[in-house]
Amino acid sequence: MKNPRKLKLVVVGTMLLLALHYPIISFFSFEKLVFGIPQLFFYLFSLWVVLIIVIIKLTTDIKHSNLDREDE
């Protein structure tokens, strides 16, 4: 993939896929509270917030680039 911005998106998506499924998710799936919140619940929603921040950064980069070049 020649376009580095698209490559970053693919990498983020793949990492998210791995982080959200077995086996990684099983490391967080225990019956205990972290900061008073069930551990898995805490893990999933923190990951979610991280994704939101990363996506905002990446989409801003794309918006500021030349959109016509995105076709190639």
Partner 1 sequence: MSEWMVLVIAVIYLLALFFIAFQSEKYFARFSNNGFVYALSLMVYCTAWTFYGSVGYASTDGINFLAIYTGPLITIPFWWLVLRKMVRVTKTMRISSIADFISIRYGKNGRLGTLVAVACFVGIIPYIALQLKAIDNSVSIISEQISFDSSVFIVILLTVFAILFGARNVDANQRKPGLISAIAFESLVKLFAFLSVGVFVVYGLFNGWFDLFSQAAEKLDMNQLSTLSGDGDFADWFFISLVSAIAFLLLPRQFQVGSVEAGKEEHILTAMRVAPIYLLLINLFVVPIAFAGLILSPDSNSDFQVLSLPLLSGNGLLAMFVFLGGFSAATSMILVSTTALSTMMSNYVFIPLILKSKKEEAAERTDYHNILLFWRRISIVIIMLLAFSYFKFLTSKESLVSIGIISFIAVAQLAPAFFGGLYWKRANNKAATAAIISGLSIWFLFLVLPNIALELSDIFHNALFEAPNNIVTAFTEHMGLSRTSASIIMSLMANVLLYVYFSLATNQSAKEVNQAELFVDIYKYSKSYDSSVAWRGTAYFPDIKSLLNQFIGKDRTDTVLDRYARRHGIDWDANPKVDARVISYAERVLTGIIGPSSARIMVSNVVEEEEIGLNDVLNILQESQEALRLNRELQLKSQQLAKATEKLTSANAKLQEFSDLKNEFLYTVTHELRTPITSIRAMAELLEDHAEMPNEERAQFVGNIIYEAERMTKLISNVLDLEKFESGNQQLERAALDLKILIKEEVQALNPLIGNRNIEVKTEINSHLEPVFADEERIRQVITNLLSNAVKYCDQNEGLILITAYCQDDYVKVNVSNNGSGIKQEDISNIFDKFYQVKHQSVKKPTGHGLGLAICKNIIEMHKGKIGVELAYGMVRFSFSLPVYRK
Residue 31 has phi, psi (to 5 degrees) of: -85, 75
Under the binding rule (CB under 8 A), the answer on residue 46 touching partner 1 is: no
For 8-35, what is the HEC assignment?
HHHHHHHHHHHHCCCCHHHHHCCCCEEC
Is residue 36 within a helix (H) or strand (E), and if so which, with residue range? none
Under the binding rule (CB under 8 A), the answer on residue 31 touching partner 1 is: yes
Under the binding rule (CB under 8 A), the answer on residue 24 touching partner 1 is: no
- Name the site residues for partner 1 (rule: CB under 8 A): 6, 9-10, 12-13, 16-17, 20-22, 25-26, 29-31, 33, 36-41, 44-45, 48-49, 51-52, 55-56, 58-59, 62-63, 67, 70-72
